Amino acid sequence: MKKIVIASSNNHKISEISSQINSYFNSVLSLSDFPQIGEIIEDGTTIEENSFIKSRVAFNHTKLPAVADDTILEVDYLNGDPGLFTARYAGKNASYLENMNKLLKNLSGIDKKNRTARFKTVISYVDGKNDFHVEGVLEGRILESMTGSNGFGYDPIFYCSSHHMSLAQMTESMKNEISHRAIAIRKFVNKIKLILNEED
């Protein structure tokens, strides 16, 4: 098992995941290498289902081990929204900025203590026999305005409680140490190493 497919076309996600798993595989591919797969419809009712939909489609098409992640942002004051609609909160094909602006508008005037939120990432892996998933969670709150210029998605308005700054104020290496996706990737790597050792 020397090849793996990341079931994503998002360059930010591909970069974050591949940087952590490159050393375990001869080749790390993505959906960009398989344009015939097309858009994958994520119609699951949970974050776990949506992650597995992507990894299973990629595996079924390529017959290569596939990994996918799905990330949601849960805001307590909004009863867990954006949730499954995190990527399209302001509508289908909405930009990062449009999603952030809608969230800021929906929290307008809400006190800091009531803006608690968390990012959750589920990473799923499918190879036909060792299917599994892992989860990473990062607690924080939603800021009143965008702060910082790094990262992507909701990073400029997500304040990381443990580091007293927004995700967009962090360097890439710092974010890759503490983020929800980083936590999930570390769990994924620990499991994939066991699978690779058994196959060797």
Run of H or E including 137: strand 132-142
Among candidate residues 141, 121, 127, the one with its CA nearest the CA of residue 185: 121
Q: Which of 33, 43, 69, 70 is catalytic?
A: 70
Contact by Cβ (8 Å): 143, 159: yes
Distance CA 26, CA 42 (A): 29
131 is catalytic: no
- Dihedral over Cα of 136, 139, 141, 145: its sign: negative
CA–CA distance, 147 with 74 (Å, rounded to integer): 19
Q: Which amino acids are annotated catalytic? A: 70
